[in-house]
Amino acid sequence: MKTQFTISAFALIRDDKNRILLCLRNDNDLWNLPGGTLEHGEAPWECVIREVKEETGLDVEIIKLACVYNKEGKNAIGFDFECNIIGGKFTLSNESKDIKWFLKDEIPKNIVLRQIERINDFLENNKEIRLKTLKEKSLK
């Protein structure tokens, strides 16, 4: 039997004030980077563009791959892409009930912990692609 993996893609979008774009999810009331799980036959770079559009109403272009991560003890691989806004307008959806920009020290407490780790990694060193295992403690 083949091992099944979950593959996801998320967008790291900064504005000119170095703030990160986050969405407040409808399903669990947690802030999150825009993104989600790949659909059948979809590439990670296609997924992140689609997910950003669905969750925020924005059109983005990918600047570069920022991080490939593995969740410790899970069959889950994720891709973080640095993206630029090229169109669209902020639009709430059935997936997101709020969309806001946050400075690193203003990120709300109701956020998935692994998202903070990924945001910090990106803001601290976005010059090279990171390959990282997210430890179990950061997955809660």
The domain that contains 35 carries what CATH number?
3.90.79.10
pLDDT one-digit tens code per residue, 7-55: 999 999 999 999 999 999 998 999 999 999 999 999 999 999 999 999 9
pTM of the predicted protein model:
0.91
* Mean pLDDT of the region 102-131: 90
Q: Is residue 90 part of a domain?
A: yes
Q: Is residue 94 part of a domain?
A: yes
Strand duo 6-13 + 76-88: pairing: parallel
Q: Which range (22-36, 105-119, 126-140) has the least confidence?
A: 126-140
How would residue 61 be classed by pLDDT, with cut points 50, 70 and 90? very high
Q: Which range (14-18, 44-48, 73-77, 97-101) has the least confidence?
A: 73-77
Alpha-carbon span 60 to 34, nearest angstrom: 11
Q: Is residue 1 part of a domain?
A: no
* Mean pLDDT of the region 49-69: 97
Q: Is residue 63 part of a domain?
A: yes
Q: State the residue range of the domain holding 100.
A: 6-139
pLDDT of residue 139: 40
Torsion of CA 20, 140, 36, 39, to 10 degrees: 160
Q: Is residue 40 part of a domain?
A: yes
Q: Is residue 89 part of a domain?
A: yes
Residue of 77, 75, 71, 55 whose CA lies nearest to 11: 55
Alpha-carbon span 12 to 1, nearest angstrom: 35
Is the Cβ–Cβ distance between 9 and 45 less than 8 Å?
yes
Q: Is residue 110 part of a domain?
A: yes
Total domains in the fold of the chain = 1
| Three-state secondary-structure class, residue 128 | coil
